[in-house]
Amino acid sequence: MTPAPADQFAELAPLGALGILDGEDRAAFEAHVGTCAGCRAERDAYDAVVVSRLGLAAGEVAPPASLRPRVVTSTAPGAAPAPPLPSLAWLGFAASLLLAVTSAGALYQRAEARREAESLRAQLSEVQGLALRRGEELAALRQDLAAATVERDQVRLVQDIALGPDARLTPLGGQGPQPGAAARILWSASRRQGILCASGLPPAPEGKAYELWVIAGAAPIPAGVFLSAADGRAVHTVALDEQAARAATFAVTLEPREGSAAPTGPMVLAGQVG
């Protein structure tokens, strides 16, 4: 009979089964489970009854038909059975004797051909495996290239604005809940473009984003939403319309992810055009 699980570790069992324990909880639970059959059984029960079945909720989505031969052939090269020999039952005895003599040579050739076909199949599956790996590498490189292209465009924008006749640099200071945040907007009224560089902005909570506002008289003009990276930095390019080009103040607030038409959330950055 397995002993009853110790209470504190029994509480961790479902979390352990889900794989979400970290830090001291994780170390303590894994060490304990090594010696306590009750807690091990409790964790395994949560895994069997709940965790291993949760994936069923996602539902089925058939992959493209082209995937099947790639998977089945490259995994088990002999999975496609060799074609069967044709039936000789309808022939008479003499005819089948004559056929037996001449077909000996044909059978040898057929065996040769089958050996060659098997060799080609093996080579094909090897090439398919190689193509799959190259495809993975290519996908990874594409992702890196996309990220690098974004950064290159940002650098070009900075160059274009900075080298123009009316480049302005407006500093913004941290406000309200983010006193440690800071930013500068490099912008040009004639180019109707700007680029905001911020630091000390923690990643926005779930479902939220930062939104830039340009205040040039009456109501604040929305100037795009952006997110910050894990290190607190953010870069956001802005298109300034004719009215926004007469900006007097820039501000950043925390808004719903899709942005707002007017500021509703707390202000985190603000700066006046000097």
Partner 1 sequence: MAETHAQRLVRKLAEGDQGALGEFYDLFAGLVNGLALRILRDATEAEDVVQEVFVQVWRQASRFDPARGTPEAWLCTMARSRALDRLRRRASRREEPAESAPANVGVPRNEEALAVRKALEGLSPDQRRALELAYYEGLTQSEIAERLGEPLGTIKTRIRTAMIRLRDALAPLQP
Enumerate binding residues for partner 1 (CB under 8 A). 11, 14-15, 17-23, 25, 45-46, 48-64, 67-68, 70-72, 74-76, 78-79, 81, 132, 135-136, 139-140, 143-144, 147, 205-206, 227, 229-230
Nearest distance in Å: CB 158, partner 1: 20
Pick the closer one to partner 1 by CB: 206 or 242. Answer: 206
Pick the closer one to partner 1 by CB: 61 or 101. Answer: 61
The C-alpha atoms of residue 241 and residue 55 are separated, in whole angstroms, by: 48
Pick the closer one to partner 1 by CB: 60 or 242. Answer: 60
Nearest distance in Å: CB 272, partner 1: 31
Is residue 6 helix, strand or coil? coil
Pick the closer one to partner 1 by CB: 112 or 136. Answer: 136
Residue among 190, 192, 188 nearest 169 (CA): 188
Nearest distance in Å: CB 81, partner 1: 7
Nearest distance in Å: CB 15, partner 1: 6
Token readout for 25 is 């909880």
Is residue 250 helix, strand or coil? strand
- How many residues are listed for the chain in this entry? 274
DSSP characters for 184-246? Answer: EEEEETTTTEEEEEEES-PPPPTTEEEEEEEESSSSPEEEEEE---TTS-EEEEEE--TTGGG
The C-alpha atoms of residue 91 and residue 114 are separated, in whole angstroms, by: 25
Phi, psi of 236 (to 5 degrees): -140, 120
Nearest distance in Å: CB 63, partner 1: 4
Residue among 190, 121, 119 nearest 161 (CA): 190
Nearest distance in Å: CB 52, partner 1: 4
Phi, psi of 88 (to 5 degrees): -110, 10
Nearest distance in Å: CB 58, partner 1: 4
**One-letter amino acid of 101:** V
Pick the closer one to partner 1 by CB: 1 or 139. Answer: 139
Pick the closer one to partner 1 by CB: 100 or 229. Answer: 229
Pick the closer one to partner 1 by CB: 81 or 274. Answer: 81
Is residue 87 helix, strand or coil? coil
